[in-house]
Structure formats: C-alpha cells, structure tokens
Structure 1
Amino acid sequence: MWFKLSCLRRLWPALLLSPLAFLLAISPDCNRELFLILHEAGRVAPGAFWRLLSVLGDWPTVLALLLALSWRRPDKLPALLAGCGMGVFLAIVLKAGFAEPRPPLVLPPGSVQLLDDLPGNGSFPSGHAMASATLASFLYYSGMLRRGVVLTTVVILVMLSRLAIGVHWPLDVAVGALLGWAAMYAACVWAWPRGWPEELSARVQMALLAPLAGQLLWLLYKSGSHEEYALRLALCALVLAAGCWRWRRLRQV
C-alpha cells in the first residue's frame, strides 16, 4: 500500500492528464466541441485577464523565473537546465512535425474571438501549457512549494487562458502540460540529483545572465501591443537586476 500511495503522490499529474489527452486524441469532435464551450465560457473575464495569465506560460518569462528560483536551490540547477532543454526541444520538434492549424484557421468565421496575435507556428502541443507545467513541477519536486493544489490551479488557469484567447485546442494544452510535467519530473529524478559542485553552479548561473540581458534588449526593441508586454518586461528586468546584484555580492566575498 505504501508503494502505491507513494506512486500516486509522485505521478498524479500524469494520472490526471493522460486519460484526458487520450480521450481528446481519439475524438476530434469532442476536442472541437470542448474548445467551443470553454472558449465561449472564457468571455466572462476580460481579454486582459487571460493575456496576463498567459505570461506564466511564456517560455522566456518562465526561464527567467526558473533562473531566479535556482538561486535558492543551486543543487537543482542541472535539473532545471535538463528539464527546460527537453521541454523546449519537444515543443519545437512536435510543433514542426504535426503542424496542426490553430482554431481560427479551421473553425467557421465568427466562431473564435481572437484576443491576441495569432502565432505563426503549429498549434500542437501548447508551449505555454508546457512551460507553466515545467515551472510548477520544478517548484514541487525541488521542495520549494509542496502545495500541489495551488500549483495545479495555476497550470489549469494558464491552459484555460490559451483556450479563451483562441489560439489552442484542448488537446494541445493537455498534452503540453503532460510533457512539461514529465520533462521536469524526469530531470529532477535523474539529472545529477545531488547537483554540481558549488563553484560550477555559481559560474553557470552567472553565465545565464547574458542571455537574460539579451532577452531584455529584445523585449525593449520589440514593443508589445498589449498589457502583458509590460509584465514580461518588468519580470525580466527584475530578475536581471537581482542577478547582477547577486553576482556583485559574490565577487566581493
């Protein structure tokens, strides 16, 4: 019994998402109808609410937040790099391989109220759902936040935001969240579980500030058209400033 309960505690996201993903995969009509229902239900909240929620599934923003979290748990830096690398790789390869059209390109005109710019890549799987699940899994399996209900709620809200905005099918977000969880769970279990030497981890963390600075410059160059742009910019700038301050303190020690 102990073994079974232990497995349930570790693998409950897969037990929750796998049946849903399987059902939607074998029933395209169900996938389409569920999208229309949830997309219509999403109109009870303003578009700004869903766009701001989606920031928690934006890969550049999630990577910046994960870097900041690794300062608290430097022993989990290898897992962070492996899990994120695996997640980004899967998102790129699967989107290019399936090239699934997004809802506004398939459904009759007027069926979808698009709340944001339509991405030009494939719909399957959802990169936002994957990134948010990766962030939640890192928090949970690194022991920084053991409130699974809270983390699950946040991931579900990000998944719903992609449906409300009108850019993803339910199957996209279910599989995306499943892959994001699996990538980070596997990394936390098998990718150098005891971490790297302290000096190496500190050097890698400092080196990661360079791409973060590049991301900030890119955000400043490519101004956004909605309110979530300011949130992305603020989070990136805050993490970069904190990282530079931390690097300066380490050099003075």
Structure 2
Amino acid sequence: MSKDNELSMNLRSDYLAMTVIGAHLAAYLLVWLTGSNETLFYWLNSLLSYLPDTFWQVTTHFGETLSAAAILLLFVRKYPVLLPHLLISGLCCFALVYGLKQFLDVTRPHLVLPIESFHFIETNKTTPSRPSGHTATGAFIAATLAYLFKDKYQITLPLIAAGCMVALSRIAIGVHWPLDLFMGGAIGWITGYSGLHMVRKLAAPYLALCKEGSRSFTLLYCISAVLVISLLVLMSWPYPEPTFWFKSVLIVMLTVTTIRLMRPGVSSTP
C-alpha cells in the first residue's frame, strides 16, 4: 500500500472513530435535554427482553475489566504495544469511569424503579450507575481493535456493533440508564482509540525491544497472562453457568497464546 493510500485510510478510520464518539456525546445531550432517559430505558428494556436472558448474560461479560485484559492479550504476540496500552490507557479508562461514578452518584434503575415494571435479570449491583463501566470496557476493546485493524472496515464496523451490544446488555439486564451507556461508550472510545495512538508514540523504546523478540518482553507477557488467568479463576462474576463457560474459553485461548509466544522465532509488529 502506498503512503498516500495508507494516510487516506488512516484518516477515514480516524473520522469513523470521531463519528462514533460524537454520536455518543450527541445522544447523551439529546436524551438529557429532552428528559427521555427513563422513557428510553423502558422502551429499550422491553424490546431487548425478546432475546434470551442467557444471551445478555454472556454478552455483558465482555464488559468485565478482566475480559478486556484477556481479549487484548490475545493480540499482544502481533501487537506488543497492547501491553503498555492496557497499563496506561486502561488505567485512564478505569479511573475516569469510577471517578465519575463517585462524583455523579446516580442510582441504578433496579434500585429506583419497581422491579415488576420492567424486565430484570437478577444481579447484586448496588454501586453508582453513571457512567457504565461495562459499556466503557466494551467500547475500549472495540476501539482498540478498530485502531489495530483500521484498514479493514469489514472488521471495524462489526466491532462498533459488538461494543453497542455490550452496552445494550446493561439495559437488558436492568442495571443502567441510557445516559450511563452514552457516557461510558464515549469514555471507552476516547481512551481506547486515542489512548493507543498516543501510547504508540510514547512507548517507542519499548517497541524497539519488542521487535527483537526480547526475553524481557516474553517474561512481561507471561507475568501478565498468568495474573489475568489467576484473577479469572479467583474472581466471581454473576450468572454461574454462563460465567463458567465464558471464563473457560478465555483461559484456554490465553493459555494457548502464551505457549505460542514462548516458542523461539516469534516475530511481532508494534
């Protein structure tokens, strides 16, 4: 691909990311100004209830922080920049979400509305509602992968849709307002897409070492993978049966990726 074509593709991808972020912010402003947050919650919750509860229970697990770490670690063999990205951008996303949660202190729908008035999938969530952490995490994964595959719209567009499905799962379960999703999605896309762009520039010395397939990189990856796998085993999530199968798939995939990375002759792309 020529430099002009590559630049054009990068610009189109950047415009797409900005469009997604702008859509989240515009939707937030529109719903807030019209006071339709509760009405939209009821409408979406009713519509989404036509799909099985198990579908939403599995989908919402993609919004767990550990899911983001595990899924993105699967791509580290080819894109070593994801390790510092997870550490820097991921922590920024986490801090923004949970800092705003405490500052805004919005109560979740299932703690305010009569449970019998909407479809509720049992959960013990009682922490503040806005912004949605699961939505931010799902958007962070989608934005990060969209940046890595910015020249492939057949991948980036489904990624945007997948991030939206994770967001919608929070309304389907009954634990978040639409405004929570719009704010969380914007945070996830900003930290995931723009964060990766900045980390690539800041982590140039680290990436130079990774190109050489250094032992330090392999060791750092193995430590990260073992830590994530251990936390997946030890930490409890809601919905026992979907959780068991979801975690099992992640653990197996992450273990296989780790074994492959430890083989000699691994090449990588920053």
Instruction: Name the TM-score class by shorter chain.
Output: 0.7 to 0.9
* Amino acid aligned to 1:214: S
Using the alignment, how far apart are the partners of 2:237 and 2:114 within structure 1? 31
Q: Is the 8 A contact 2:97 2:131 kept in 1?
A: yes
2:37 counterpart residue number = 31
Provide the secondary structure at the position in 2 that maps to 1:110: helix
CA shift for structure 1 position 226:
3.7
Q: Tell me whether 1:90 sits opposite 2:96 in the alignment.
A: yes
CA shift for structure 1 position 48:
0.8
Using the alignment, how far apart are the partners of 2:237 and 2:16 within structure 1? 43
Q: Is the 8 A contact 1:102 1:169 kept in 2?
A: yes
Q: 1:236 aligns with which of 237, 250, 265?
A: 250
2:218 counterpart residue number = 202
* Amino acid aligned to 2:221: Q
Using the alignment, how far apart are the partners of 2:260 and 2:157 within structure 1? 32
* Amino acid aligned to 1:123: S
Q: Tell me whether 1:103 sits opposite 2:109 in the alignment.
A: yes
CA shift for structure 1 position 132:
0.8
Q: Is the 8 A contact 1:53 1:161 kept in 2?
A: yes
Using the alignment, how far apart are the partners of 2:60 and 2:115 within structure 1? 24
2:81 counterpart residue number = 75
Using the alignment, how far apart are the partners of 1:76 and 1:233 within structure 2? 21
Q: 1:9 aligns with which of 16, 19, 36?
A: 16
CA shift for structure 1 position 86:
1.1
Q: Tell me whether 1:40 sits opposite 2:56 in the alignment.
A: no
2:3 counterpart residue number = none
Alignment of 1:1-253 (within 5 A): 8-27=15-34, 29-143=35-149, 146=153, 147-193=155-201, 194=204, 196=207, 197-198=209-210, 199=214, 200-219=216-235, 222=236, 225-246=239-260, 248-250=262-264
TM-score, with length taken from structure 2: 0.82
CA shift for structure 1 position 58:
1.7
- 1:44-65 CA-partner distances (Å, limit 9, x unpaired): 1111111111122122112111
TM-score, with length taken from structure 1: 0.87
Provide the secondary structure at the position in 2 that maps to 1:45: coil
Unaligned residue ranges in structure 1 (runs of 5+): none
CA RMSD of aligned residues (A): 2.6
CA shift for structure 1 position 10:
4.2
Unaligned residue ranges in structure 2 (runs of 5+): 1-7
* Amino acid aligned to 1:95: K
Q: Is the 8 A contact 2:140 2:189 kept in 1?
A: yes
Using the alignment, how far apart are the partners of 2:78 and 2:257 within structure 1? 12
CA shift for structure 1 position 109:
4.2
